[in-house]
Amino acid sequence: MNISFDDICNIIKPCPWKAVEYLFSVSKGEHPGCDPKPAIQSMLDFDSKVSLMVQMLMESKDFFPEKMEKILKFILTIPKNSLGKGAIYLIHDETDVLQRIAECDIEEPAFTKCREIEIGECLCGHIAKTKKILTGKCHDMNCMIEREEIFPHAHYCSPIVNSENELLGVLNIYLDQEHERDEKEEEYLSKIVHIVGWFIEDKRQEREANKIRHRMFSALSKMTLRREVTTQIVEDNNRLLEKVNSAIGRAVQSVDDKELKKELLSSMKDLTHVGVSNNNLACFMEEGDITIRENEVVPVVESALHILSDQIDGLNVNIVKRFEPETIAFFRATMIEQVIDAILQNAIDQFKKQPDLDHNIDIEVTTEDYAIIGITDNGGGIDSDIIGRIFDPTFTTKTVEEGKLGLSLYMAKQVVEEHRGLIICKSKNRKTTFIIKLPLK
């Protein structure tokens, strides 16, 4: 009963590994009813078998060592006088020592002695050093195992290299000691080894890529943690600055001593600069830069609205947007977003005092001599006797208990002016309009 390799593959076509396992057992004479010679001979038909080799490499879901053991079994079916014994060694990335990563039926003492091999040592080490294929009897090839320690045999030994001829490892096949060289067989084995080299190199690059991704993920996690910690510190500092500024503002209004009032006002300005620096730190952690640069205005406005969306959604607020697309100006996105947030937050605070009314926010982005952001709300307006003081450092309408997170209007004004811009407030017919002007260049 003659069974060819093609017969086996046709019978077990969906599972090429099973075909290889069966062929391997046939080649070792484990199926007395099958003549192994036709199956083994058919392996020399290179064109019809390389595709199976690639299919096995690509389709198997085994881990790398298990896959290499199956590949080794496939290779051991190729030589006519294969003893079904062999090993694949890979070069260690750090020690430059050959390490056995797959073996088939290797017996003692070779199993122990040949687990790791120095470059230049023994047959496999010599192949690794010279990168040349050798075929011959074991003791004609500088084997480090004594003749009496192991059965008579020969070897087919080949370096495994990548496309740049860099050493990846060594393939070692045990042959019958009477094996004669066959150039066609060696050519086929050489091509198979090149395919194995391609696969190993691909896996090595994949492993390196995974290491890089892991390092990048680790670095990103650390950056994210630093950003979160910094953001929390900035928020806490802003909250504290807000309360201290408010307290100093009330003190300024209640003292008569001119020198003390002067010192208090100076302290408020210092605190404002601290607040701006504090928010610059948040900007730097978010964007990696505190440089004023060219930015689109509309996405920044949209981002500020998104941040406050939870508060807005619960207050029956109608938002009307009139945006001139692709409006460009020079500013730090995070800082101007906080200015917009401060203005919107003031409107929301007013809406909360009138929960039963319908509320509107009208936001317009246009371009004239400046990029202009206009924000109008119908939260009741600002009384004419205080509208001129809303940007003063000492002004507040909030109690200590109402101290909010973010920029005060005074600090918002400082931020806009730092950008060489303008911020204006108007109030009429119970509506309040803030206009932010940012330079176009």
d(CA 436, CA 441): 15
306, 297, 302: which is closest to 321 by C-alpha? 302
End-to-end CA, the chain = 88
- pLDDT tens digits along 101-160: 888 888 777 778 788 888 888 888 888 888 888 876 655 555 655 555 566 778 888 899
Per-residue model confidence (pLDDT) at position 29: 58
Domain ranges of the chain: 1-78, 83-181, 287-439
> The domain 287-439 belongs to what CATH superfamily?
Histidine kinase-like ATPase, C-terminal domain (3.30.565.10)
Residue 109: cis peptide before it, omega within 30 degrees of 0: yes
d(CA 366, CA 437): 10
The answer to whether 52 touches 16, Cβ cutoff 8 Å, is: yes
79, 81, 84: which is closest to 158 by C-alpha? 79
The pTM assigned to this predicted structure is 0.43
Query: Residue range 246-268: average pLDDT?
Result: 79
Burial, 112: exposed, middle or buried (Cβ in 10 Å; 0-12, 13-18, 19+)? exposed
- pLDDT tens digits along 315-370: 788 899 999 988 999 988 888 888 998 899 889 888 888 877 888 999 999 999 99
Residue 423 sits at φ, ψ, to 5 deg, of -135, 130
- pLDDT tens digits along 45-97: 555 555 666 666 655 555 677 778 877 887 787 777 777 788 999 988 777 88
* Rounded to 5°, angle at Cα 148 from 144 and 151: 90
Domains 83-181 and 287-439 in one fold:
no
Confidence of residue 39 (pLDDT cuts 50, 70, 90): very low
d(CA 409, CA 265): 16
d(CA 141, CA 127): 10
User: Rounded to the nearest 10 degrees, how much is the dihedral formed by the CA atoms of 64, 66, 70, 76?
Assistant: 90
7, 10, 43, 39: which is closest to 191 by C-alpha? 43
Structure letter (DSSP) for residue 288: S
Confidence of residue 285 (pLDDT cuts 50, 70, 90): low
Per-residue model confidence (pLDDT) at position 272: 67
The answer to whether 271 touches 414, Cβ cutoff 8 Å, is: no
Structure letter (DSSP) for residue 89: E
Residues 6+ positions from 440 with CB-CB distance below 8 Å: 328, 329, 330, 367, 369, 370, 371
d(CA 430, CA 354): 13
Q: What is the CATH number of domain 83-181?
A: 3.30.450.40
| Sequence letter at residue 145 | I
Query: Residue range 191-209: average pLDDT?
Result: 81
Q: Is residue 338 helix, strand or coil?
A: helix
The whole-chain average pLDDT of the chain stands at: 76
Per-residue model confidence (pLDDT) at position 367: 92
d(CA 175, CA 311): 79
| Sequence letter at residue 383 | D
Residues 6+ positions from 225 with CB-CB distance below 8 Å: none
